[in-house]
Amino acid sequence: MSEHLGFIGVGRMGGPMAGRLLDAGHRLTVFDTNRGATAPLIGRGAVATGSVREVATAVETVIMSLPTPDIVRDVALGENGIASGTRVKTVIDLSTTGPRMTQCIAGGLKVKGIALIDSPVSGGVSGAQKGTLAVMAACERALFERFEPVLKVFGKVFYIGARPGMGQTMKLANNLLSATAMAISSEAIVMGVKAGLDPQVMVDVINSGSGRNTATQDKFPRSVLPRTFDYGFATGLMYKDVKLCLEEAEALGVQMWVGAAVRQIWQFANAELGPASDFTAIVQCIEEWAGVEVKARA
């Protein structure tokens, strides 16, 4: 069934997801602080507004795809935010904010009679484009069933639980593993290159053995070996996700010895490479220390 949906944040992830909603026959009212980001969607029939509040006054369901917890909170609860809209009844948050921030936002929206579906996604820009994301939804079961068809447009949908924040916990656990795979694979492959091994052969062997992981299977072949560093996820966002995960573990009283080391190296990469750098460029930090370069041989 076609829905009239609002979509706030149509950048690298949100843009492709919004495009898939149009492909599925939904009508969209969109907003982004970068007006240029809305242009491709407007060209396909979406309607752009001048503020978040206008979106929340035009539709009953608003979707958010935003980069940081503070931005999500401001968009949801700030002056002229979603909560100030006159028509909105449901907010679907695809962002990664951490469970405690999500619970705070859910509480603020509930006061206004607005329900929150905590639904972070994983799979990167390519997954957003192809509709193959992992979608982790947490809300009351009836609300989930109502909006599951919309979420399925983005990829494979998992019902995580009834409480907002549960989806965030699942996402943070996933991204800690992804961040760890990228960091430790960088260290292992740089070590091999320093010893004279061919990095392409290393990746092929690892992917045929027990060491294979998401970094060696996808990130290294696509963005590291060809030296493009264009996977599409920012170092600053990866550091943010790891930091959120460790903060949540500490709040729960769960000790993460390995996680603490992973947070430290991503903190360094964020400072050294800059938050806007592609997260696959973390290998350059290890290369610099070792004095070698991980590059496919001609």
pLDDT of residue 45 exceeding 90: yes
pLDDT digits 0-9 by tens, 82-117: 999 999 999 999 999 999 999 999 999 999 999 999
What pLDDT, in 10s, does the model give residues 256-291? Answer: 999 999 999 999 999 999 999 999 999 999 999 999
Classify burial at 243, counting beta carbons within 10 Å of its beta carbon; exposed 0-12, middle 13-18, buried 19 or more.
Answer: middle
Q: Find, among 102, 96, 91, 35, the residue nearest to 60 by Cα.
A: 91
Strands (E), 24-68: 27-31, 47-48, 61-64
Question: What stretch(es) of the chain map to CATH 3.40.50.720?
Answer: 4-162
From 110, 130, 171, 219, the catalytic residue: 171
Mean local confidence (pLDDT), 194-220: 98
Map tokens 């027990």 to a residue.
210
pLDDT beyond 90 at 33: yes
- Give CA–CA dist 96/168, Å, rounded: 6
So what's the pLDDT on residue 297?
83
Pairing of the two strands 61-64 and 27-31: unpaired
Instruction: Examine the pLDDT at 208 and tell me if it is beyond 90.
Output: yes
Phi then psi for residue 17, to 5 deg, are -65, -40
Give mean pLDDT, residues 19-41.
97
CATH fold of 4-162 = Rossmann fold (3.40.50)
pLDDT band at 1 (very low <50, low <70, confident <90, very high): confident
CA 287 – CA 296 distance, rounded (Å): 14
pLDDT bracket for residue 2 (50, 70, 90): confident
Candidates 9, 16, 11, 101; CA nearest to 63 is: 9
Distance CA 160, CA 154 (A): 16
Q: What is the per-residue pLDDT across 15-24, written as a single tens digit (0 to 9) for each?
A: 999 999 999 9
Beta partners for 61? Answer: 5, 90
Q: What confidence category does residue 159 fall into, taking pLDDT thresholds of 50, 70 and 90?
A: very high
pLDDT tens digits, 50-91: 999 999 999 999 999 999 999 999 999 999 999 999 999 999
Predicted pLDDT at 290: 98
Pick from 246, 248, 270: which is nearest to 256 by CA?
A: 246
Instruction: Please give the Cα distance from 131 to 96 (Å, whole number).
Output: 18
Angle at alpha carbon of residue 131, lines to 7 and 134, rounded to 5°: 90
Note the CATH number of domain 169-290: 1.10.1040.10
Identify residue 204 by its one-letter amino acid code. D
Query: How many residues comprise the chain?
Result: 298
**Whether residue 298 has pLDDT greater than 80:** no
3-state SS, residue 291: coil
171 is catalytic: yes
Q: What pLDDT score does 294 carry?
A: 98
What is the separation, in whole angstroms, between the first and last Cα of the chain?
52
